[in-house]
A and B are shown apart, each in its own frame.
Chain A
């Protein structure tokens, strides 16, 4: 267990010391949301109506675009080879990296949602529902993303491939995430489905991703 948390801590430390990756991500998230009024028009009523969808799309895109960092640096500097011979199985290493990635991408985005909520003239309850939906849905996005990152890690010119692969798989997250907004909290089917999807994908994805990493880096 200490090895697990050591890896989480290492990734967080690396991100904190090596630059503003999390900050850039938040900036991207806010900018995607802020660009929408230019495309749709500054109508406050319309914006408030579309705001949950806009925030979900912005979060979806920023989570997908950050994928490549998940394993790329470790693959390039050789840490991945050490991980394969770590005291904990590679599946646990992947789970640790997944947790760190979620802390580094989803949490900053969640923290930044009030800013977008104000800009898109959302009221308090619909902001709360959107934030709750993001909190429940982002683990699934991270889990699917981990598979995408693991599958493309051995490609030198992977580029946009991981997001393109993962986007169709992540559509259910978007469907349930948007559907639970506006539905009564606690009893909505969408919320239960979203939570189930997150739990199952978080449990299942480390195995698939670790298998892909073993094949990809052998």
Chain B
């Protein structure tokens, strides 16, 4: 017991993860397998979608395959905000340095997937609803979500001091996440045309199983794609910070 007491306490894995070098060393071997897994999942999902599932249904006609991109990107547009919310908590509660980098890396990805969801939605809306854009509840709240993402990106870019930026953006992200349900509710209340929830209902998915399966695989593939891109982007962020501090050191050295 006395021997143990004199030894310095070993930090747990969560704290050790805070060291960017450790994080890089631990996760670098993961990137390649993740990328391969993502590619395999995409191939499986697309194969299921185009060779095993019907290519058209009665209500949407031949535009059905848009579903396999539209639904996963729309899911990611919200999932990524959830990830940013978690990172914001990490920044504010534990001051975890990796949470800063992760939040910063997630914002452009979230904006990109939101744009994709809106774009595929517009392409889909034209033949089925007869219009590219309709001021419908869910479309409008997705558009507002995109505005919030773009605002967050602009806020990140406005700061010189990245440590301060991380905490300020984290506060704003939390405020946004309190607001997003209110925005969704108000906009739905305002106008609704989009079809109601199909996937998650109390009676199980209201969808043919041969379409449901490829959709699920595509959801997993897109989520894996996000995880891979996020990881690569975190690595880039860490390297960029390191390069910045090195160049600052070099400038200090040459000045002295």
Interface residues of A (CB under 8 A from B): 147, 151-152, 154-155, 157-158, 161, 164-165, 167-169, 171-172, 175-176, 179, 193, 197, 204, 208, 211-212, 215-216, 218
Contact = CB atoms under 8 A, between A and B. Distances in A.
Interface on chain A toward B: helix, strand, loop, or mixed SS? Answer: helix
Contact of B175 (A147, A157, A215, A216): A147
A216 B190 CA distance: 36
Contacts of A211: 171
Contacts of B151: 161, 164-165, 168
B182 interface: yes
Contacts of B155: 151-152, 161, 165
B62 interface: no
B11 to A, nearest CB: 25
B172 interface: yes
Contacts of A151: 155, 168, 171-172
B147 A168 contact: yes
B201 to A, nearest CB: 26
B224 interface: no
A176 B190 CA distance: 8
Contacts of A218: 164
A147 B172 CA distance: 8
Contacts of A157: 158
Interface residues of B, number: 26
Contact of B154 (A164, A167, A193): A164
16 contacts: A147-B175, A151-B155, A151-B171, A151-B172, A152-B158, A154-B159, A154-B168, A161-B151, A164-B150, A169-B176, A171-B186, A172-B185, A175-B187, A175-B189, A215-B167, A215-B171
A171 B191 CA distance: 14
Contacts of B168: 151, 154, 212, 215-216
B158 A169 contact: no
B182 A158 contact: no
Given A154-B164, A208-B174, A161 B158 contact: yes
Contacts of B178: 204
A208 B175 CA distance: 7
B183 interface: yes
Interface in B146-162: 147-148, 150-151, 154-155, 158-159
A172 B148 CA distance: 14
List 4 A-B pairs, minimum CB-CB distance, nearest first.
A172-B186, A168-B147, A165-B151, A215-B167
Interface in B200-240: none
Nearest to A148: B172
Contacts of A176: 186
B179 interface: yes
Contacts of B175: 147, 169, 208
B27 to A, nearest CB: 28
Contacts of B150: 164
A208 B171 contact: yes
Residue among B164, B171, B185 with max Cβ neighbours from chain A (10 Å) = B171
